[in-house]
A and B are shown apart, each in its own frame.
Chain A
Amino acid sequence: MLELSILFPSVLNGLTSGAVYALIALGLTLIYGVLHIINFAHGALLMIALYGVYFLNQKLGLDPYASLPVMVPAMFVLGYGLQRFVIGRASHGKDENIILVTLGLAIVIENLALYLWRSDTRTIETAYTFATVNILGAMISVPKVAAFAGALVVGAILLLLLAKTDLGRAIRAIAKERHGAKLVGIDVEHVFAMSFGIGLACLGAAACFLLPAYYVSPQVGNGFILIAFTIVVLGGMGSFAGALAGGFIIGVVESVGGLWLGESLGQIGIFLIFITVLLFRPQGLFGARA
């Protein structure tokens, strides 16, 4: 049996990774909730955001956390444009077309990065990269604690935005009843693009919190995309509370699973959860029946 002294830090570590996963999944679940499509380009777009943070740091000497006010709007604009001018146009009213287009975008973005920046793994050095704090005897790295807090803040902002603003009301209206929303005068195409933009803005924030303790390479998104899918499916497609809870669950499963089965096989736990949930409870823990 595992010692509590090993298990406890492992669970804490899982919770902090889970917070960043949750942030990535929040964007994915927002896009799904509104557009009813799965954005297969989500991982590739996260990779783009990570490169953004990396280059801001290398070329301008910007601290990853100071990049937040740059990366979040930049990713928002990218998302708005992508949905408005590329993805939206390709749909022809069929969801199957959209998933193919997002898959195509993922391939293009990932290989463009490979072409431009080669497959080198890049990291940044900050004063706090290797700093740790002591939480009840467990040593947790400072960037991970910051990511944990940041994810909670972003999640809270997103929930407020959806609950209190006109845009939030329009998004919820479209998620529930697309045609009805159109009939009462909501500009559906605009709200679609706004949702996609906000979904990508979450990735911008996630990238800023992730990079101090992580790395970037053209393939880095692949590692996250199935994890984010798993979280969204586990929490229930379109559910924010589900995405947050799912993120923490998956983070802990990965961390404890890795401890128990080793790094490579630990990932299996995530996919087994993914497949099990998809098969037996596709609506997820918090979601309505899809």
Chain B
Amino acid sequence: MKSSKPRADALLQQYQTRHDEGLLPLAEELQLHIAGLLKGHERVDRVSVRAKAPASFIRKALVAGEVDLKYDDPISQIQDQIGARIITFYKSDVDRIDGLIKKYFKPIEFKNRVPESEWEFGYFGHHYVLVMPSDVKIDGIDFAHIPDFFELQIKTLFQHAWSEANHDLGYKSDGALLKPDEKRKLAFTSAQAWGADQIFDELFQVRGQGTS
């Protein structure tokens, strides 16, 4: 395996430059762009866009594959160097925004992520890998630092809250795995968030606002 320290150091240096000179200003532009598209659309809580932190990028870049490292050219292959999230109130809003995103962006991937079994609870949300729109490739940013794609998620408030807490609690910095009982507790909170989304959406529909 080629995960030598010099390789990691060189990659970190390369990505740090890309992050500071390209990804950070690009994230700001993309946030403005998406927020502009959603202007006037109801029940959008927020639009956030982040540049992947260098340490996080390196961790992902050095993930092992079956034979060698998973990525032979991580700068080209890792598609969430820019990650965007749109947070809506209710599940119906997610479907509405889904239509808008497919209208205004070119996807190379889209999926509605749900746990594999109906007996499981965990991660929920709409995910996309979208072509970076030309609108955000402003003249002040070096095009060499602009990734071809960015990742977008659309989540309800509850899905967002759960995924943030899960990310914070579920991935310990020392790499320690969750114990079975801890996994059950996280699944329990996911089920509660799922249930809250169902009930809120039903109320939303019943209250006669579901068509707006």
Partners in one complex: no
**Which B positions have Cβ atoms within 8 angstroms of A?**
none
**Which A positions have Cβ atoms within 8 angstroms of B?**
none
